[in-house]
Amino acid sequence: MIHLTDVRKAFNQGKSNEFWALKGIDLTVRAGKVTVFRGPSGSGKTTLLTLVGCLARPTSGRVRLRDRDISGLPERFLTDIRRSTFGFVFQQFNLLKGISAVENVMIPAYPLGRDPKELSERAHALMDSLDIGPKAQSNAEWLSGGEAQRVAIARALINDPEVVIADEPTANLDSERSRQFLGIVETLKQAGKTVLMTSHDPMVCDTAVVDHVVCLRDGQLVESR
Amino acid sequence: MRVWLNKQRSLLDFSLSSLSRRRGKTLGMLAVYTAIVFVLASVMLFSHAIRREAATVLAKSPEVLVQRMVAGRHDLIPARHLEAIKGIRGVQSAEGRLWGYLFDPAAAANYTLMVPTNPRIEPGKVVIGDGVVRVRSADPGDLMSFRAHDGSLVQFKVDHAISRESALVSADLFLVAEEDFRRLFGIPAGMFTDLAVSVRNPREVGKIAEKIDAALPDTRIILRDEILRTYESVFDWREGMLLVLLAGSILAFAIFSWEKASGLSAEERREIGILKAVGWETSDVIRLKMLEGLVVSLSAFLVGYLLAYAHVFHLGAGLFEPVLKGWAVLYPKYRLTPFVDELQVATLFFFTVFPYTVATVVPIWRAAIVDPDQVMR
Amino acid sequence: MRKSDTFLLLSALLLVLLGASFADAARGLAREGPALERKAEMVERLGLTDLVLFTEARYTRHPSQADLHSAFQDHPFAMDHFPTGSLLPPPIWKGRP
């Protein structure tokens, strides 16, 4: 579904602190499967995630989404694709403080001009399905780690994307919550979504729900299971 | 269309949310901005109303006034000059005017003393303006005494008071008979304060003024046109205290805008990054911020203007009284006629709303075009 | 009620009041019409030349009649004595000698 061909990404190009995060990646992410990018910090897995999820463009190489080359697209189109295809769950959750959980969930849908009542219903339904319905009106800063993550997941799902991307999802969670998270991943897979994660947590990499593990080191693929 | 409307409403909702998240700061800005608009609008409404009132009411003031100048100062003018003037073709009539200033120690106020020619006042009587009534608590039949130029006492009996309705032109008037005036100030018969000339054909006024000027070289001519123009530029923005007021408002506004534009807090930057990361385009982010600016400035304008209107036309511009009164004891009680210039209001609206909204957008421009992947780090 | 509903409602209310203020001004203008005429008539009858706004000094009471000396009567560089003098422009001379 998503194909990367000889993708390279550099930061501060041309300056003295030029740094190549990715040095030629060839990769295929299959639809409907759960893929994990694994590797130590600095291996480039987060950078790889941003490229796959249309948050950034590669310095060289090609990224194809379902046979459509998106590596050279201008920001407008990239944003459009990102909005409709991908949902992100950040490592830091990145919820907006001072507003309620349900409003946080609805934010990605505002620019799309959906009917507010429908949107609100959908947001509440999503939150209910993730067992955080009762916390809908609480302000984001009052939520626990696990609750905040589930709000972030609901936010990622509000526009019904095909692909859900999560960066280090279990890094800030205990074992119990991590298990719950993997349960949610299972549900997403069953709903036909593609899931992409980065992690160095063996608990995540070695679970049955994961279909494909990609190991990275120093910006290059080491092995692909 | 529906989609577009929904989008704008959602953005408006969110911008109101954002503003209420920083409630204290927003309310503070709103209060200060409303106050600035209130003061500026009040001054604007008041100035315009006074100017229009002057233009309307003084439209029939004397066409040509002839004053005698001695060493650059206004001096009394001899009656024989009337002959010279009446001889000029085009002059309909010319008469001497007697008027001056009378200081009343009992009230420590200055009155404008005048001798009206039609109808003439009975000797020993006086017709007083509403302001005089108030500072002296004078009723018809009361006696008012003054010391004449030679130390003798001159007494006036109050005949009646001029109605308050015309206070703006008559509040400090003290109308007396000619002989009382001359006795009070020691002005001999045959001398007047100045001469008033009326002209047959209004288009010839300029020409006739030139002829009078040529015939009487020690005089200064004042045309009705000049009287009216004096009031067109009263309360001018470029003068004195009003310039200070305007400069103060601009300074306050500049401080506002600087405060907004002097870089976003890390928090705001983070928020914009998050919005970009969840799929908002740059234009959406900018629209959001614009709405924030619009909400504050529009509210400030509407509330400020409405308060100013009520203040000037229903509460008698009470806040300006100390400024307008200065050191005077006598201040007319009048209700301002509501002349409102819509163009001025529109200009005020434009200058209130537009710069503030722009000032809100400018600082986030940079942050809004950042690549969303920054937020991952 | 959504926040935007409240805001739009309040704004609509204020806009209506704004319109009302213009209507009020028009009405007031019509009402004052006769009074303005009476004032103009008094001005004509008595030969008045100035509004009674600033009764502090001679040149503030009759700005249209003042000579250039009055404001600077003590010294050419003297500051204006009277507060309201700073609200008034100097008299306009039509450029005749």
**Cα–Cα distance for residue pair A144/B58, rounded to 1 Å:** 76
B113 in reach of chain C (CB within 8 A): no
- Best of A103, A110, A119 to disrupt the B interface (most B CBs within 10 Å) is A110
Residue A197 lies in a domain: yes
Q: How far is B16 from chain A (nearest CA, A)?
A: 11
Buried b (16+ CB within 10 A) or exposed e, A120-154: bebbbebbeebebeebbeebbeebeebbbbbbbbb
Contacts of A83 in chain B (CB under 8 A): 279
Q: Is residue A216 part of a domain?
A: yes
- CATH number of A199's domain: 3.40.50.300
Average pLDDT over residues B118-140: 92
Mean pLDDT, chain B, integer: 88
Could you tell me if residue A75 is inside a domain? no
* Contact call for C86 and B240, based on CB within 8 A: yes
Q: Taking CB atoms and an 8 Å limit, are B57 and C17 in contact across chains?
A: no
Q: Which of B5, B376, B377 to mutate to test the interface with A (most CBs of A within 10 A)?
A: B376
Report yes or no: B85 and B199 within 8 Å, Cβ to Cβ: no
Nearest CA in chain C to B311: C21
Looking at the domain assignment, is residue A111 inside a domain? Answer: yes
Report the range out of A32-46, A167-181, B95-109, C73-87 with the highest average pLDDT.
B95-109
| Burial environment of residue B137 by CB neighbours within 10 A (0 to 12, 13 to 18, 19 or more) | exposed
**A97 neighbourhood in chain B, CB within 8 Å:** 21, 267
Taking residues B167-185, report their average pLDDT.
Answer: 94
- Closest approach of chain B CAs to the CA of C17, in angstroms? 8
Q: How confident is the model at residue C14 (pLDDT cuts 50, 70, 90)?
A: very high
Summarize pLDDT for B181-240 with one digit per residue, the tens.
999 999 999 999 999 999 988 898 989 999 999 999 999 999 998 889 888 888 877 777
B142 secondary structure, DSSP code: -
Query: Which residue range(s) make up the domain with A124?
Result: 31-57+84-224
Q: Is B338 on the interface with C (CB under 8 A)?
A: yes
Does residue A65 lie in a domain region?
A: no
Peptide bond into B119 cis (omega under 30): yes
**Distance between CA atoms of residues C31 and C25, nearest Å:** 10
Range from A58-67, A69-78, A106-115 carrying the lowest mean pLDDT: A69-78
Which residue, A215, A112, C88, is CA-closest to B232? C88
The pLDDT assigned to C97 comes to 42
CA distance B138 to chain C (A): 19
Write down which chains contact chain C via at least 3 CB pairs under 8 A. B
Residues B271-276, mean pLDDT to the nearest whole number: 85
ipTM of the complex: 0.89
pTM of the model: 0.86
Contact residues on chain B for A94, CB-CB shorter than 8 A? 270, 274, 277, 375
- Could you give the CA distance from residue C97 to residue C94 in angstroms, rounded to a whole number? 9
DSSP-assigned states of every residue in B227-277: HHHHHHTTT-TTSHHHHHHHHHHHHHHHHHHHHHHS---HHHHHHHHHHHH
Rounded CA gap, A88 and A196, in Å?
Answer: 10
* Biggest alpha carbon–alpha carbon distance for chain A: 53
State how far residue A30 is from chain B, nearest Cα, in angstroms.
23
A219 torsion bin: left (phi>0), alpha (psi -120 to 50), beta (else):
left
Reference B175, options B114, B105, B100; nearest CA is B114
- B126, pLDDT greater than 70: yes
pLDDT category, C72, cuts 50, 70, 90? Answer: low
Model pLDDT, residue A65: 86
C60: which chain B residues are within 8 Å (Cβ-Cβ)?
326
**B/C interface, count of CB pairs below 8 Å:** 221
A55/B372 Cβ within 8 A: yes
Residue A36 counted as domain residue: yes
The chain A residue lying nearest B3, using CA atoms, is: A113
SS (H, E, C) chain A: CEEEEEEEEEECCCCCCCEEEEEEEEEEECCCCEEEEECCCCCCHHHHHHHHCCCCCCCEEEEEECCEECCCCCHHHHHHHHHHHEEEECCCCCCCCCCEHHHHHHHHHHHHCCCHHHHHHHHHHHHHHCCCHHHCCCEHHHCCHHHHHHHHHHHHHCCCCCEEEEECCCCCCCHHHHHHHHHHHHHHHHCCCEEEEEECCHHHHCCCCCCEEEEEECCEEEEEC
Taking the CA of residue C57 and the nearest CA in chain B, the distance in Å comes to 8
In a domain, A16, yes or no: no
**Is residue A18 a part of any domain in this protein?**
no
Beta-carbon separation of C53 and B324 below 8 A: yes
What would the two tokens of residue B105 be? 């120690």
Residues in B 117-176 with any Cβ partner in C closer than 8 A: 117-118, 129, 131, 162, 165-173, 175
Structure tokens at B336: 């301002």
Q: Residue B373 is nearest to which of A55, A99, A108, comparing CB atoms?
A: A55
State the Cα–Cα distance between residues A223 and A212, nearest whole angstrom: 11
Kindly list the residues from chain B whose CB atom is less than 8 angstroms away from the CB atom of residue C23: none
Mean pLDDT score, B304-316: 95
Provide the domain count of chain A: 1
Helix axis angle, B2-21 relative to B23-57, nearest 10°? 110
CA angle B328, B334, B337 (to 5 degrees): 130
User: What does the pLDDT read at residue B11?
Assistant: 92
Instruction: Write out pLDDT tens, residues B344-371.
Output: 999 999 988 888 888 888 777 777 776 6
Under a CB-based contact definition with an 8 Å cutoff, are residues B53 and B235 in contact? no
| Mean pLDDT on C60-76 | 77
Band (B78; pLDDT cuts 50, 70, 90): very high
Contacts of B271 in chain A (CB under 8 A): 96
Are B57 and C28 inside 8 Å of each other by CB? no
